[in-house]
Amino acid sequence: MPRKYKHLFFDLDHTLWDFEANSEETLIELYETFNLDQYFESFEDFHERYESHNLYLWSQYRKGKVDKKTLNFQRFHLPFCEVGFDDKAIAEQFASEYVRISPSKTKLFPNAIDVLEKLKPHYEMHIITNGFREVQAKKLENSGLRPYFSNIYISELIGVQKPHPYFFDYSIKSCNARKKESLVIGDSLEADIQGAIKAGIDQVFFNTKGLSHEKKITHEIDNLSELLDILL
Ligand SMILES: [Mg+2]
């Protein structure tokens, strides 16, 4: 039977590259390097405070209320201030180390490489990611993902982010794919799934957190290995 799809468009962060694990690994290292245990009760104490500021600052960033630089600085400076460690220079240094080190981390979701290896002979595969060119390129190279993908589509270069339909239209067009032969695989209901639905492309929702929703999605998985059942 001929295969339905020819082109697979994978999201990167939280879909192939384990953003949370890589971020935590980086924060643990930096927590030690900067001797933060003299200020925080424990790494967990720091991590929780960081998470809450980070989440809030990202929501402000998406609304255009803070810029990227402020976001990166304040997510560390604010938790530092909470425990009486108000040192802007150190926070600045910590923030820039975080951005430098985390993309060099290499933790992927279970079975990622195995699945890509098995799909590679049968599909043309691409990355579609919201992010910055240098950072995303570093992640792909260091984690060994790069060889599996023909094209890397990055919002910074396209000029709009997923779920904007132009992001999908642009990516599809520039690799001469057809929407009917394309499949988007991602973890974000909004950016990946809703974006693909709006653009008229089939979707696989990688739902690792068991999120409940009422969307009509083509496929839903919680382990990448399930892609083999769908696609081979
Ligand atoms: Mg993602």
Nearest CA to 205 out of 230, 177, 171, 169 is that of: 230
What's this model's pTM, rounded to 2 decimal places?
Answer: 0.91
Q: Tell me the domain boundaries of the chain.
A: 7-18+108-231, 19-104
Does residue 156 carry a pLDDT above 90?
Answer: no
Of the candidate ranges 126-135, 193-202, 220-229, the one whose mean pLDDT is the lowest: 126-135
Say which CATH topology domain 19-104 has.
Answer: DNA polymerase; domain 1 (1.10.150)
Partnered with residue 186 across adjacent β-strands are 205
**Residues with CB in 5 Å of ion ligand 1:** 11, 13-15, 187-188
CA of 12 to the centre of ligand 1 (A): 6
CA of 8 to the centre of ligand 1 (A): 15
Q: Return d(Cα 18, Cα 187) in angstroms, integer.
A: 11
Per-residue pLDDT tens over the stretch 125-148: 999 999 888 899 999 999 999 999
Q: Which residue has the tokens 């992010």?
A: 131
CA of 225 to the centre of ligand 1 (A): 17
61 or 102: whose pLDDT is higher?
Answer: 102
| Beta carbons of 5 and 202 less than 8 angstroms apart | yes
CA of 11 to the centre of ligand 1 (A): 6
Long-range pairs of 75-83 with CB within 8 A, sequence gap ≥ 24: 75/50, 76/50, 78/49, 78/53, 79/46, 79/49, 79/50, 79/53, 80/39, 82/49, 83/39, 83/40, 83/49
Supply the CATH classification number for the domain 7-18+108-231: 3.40.50.1000
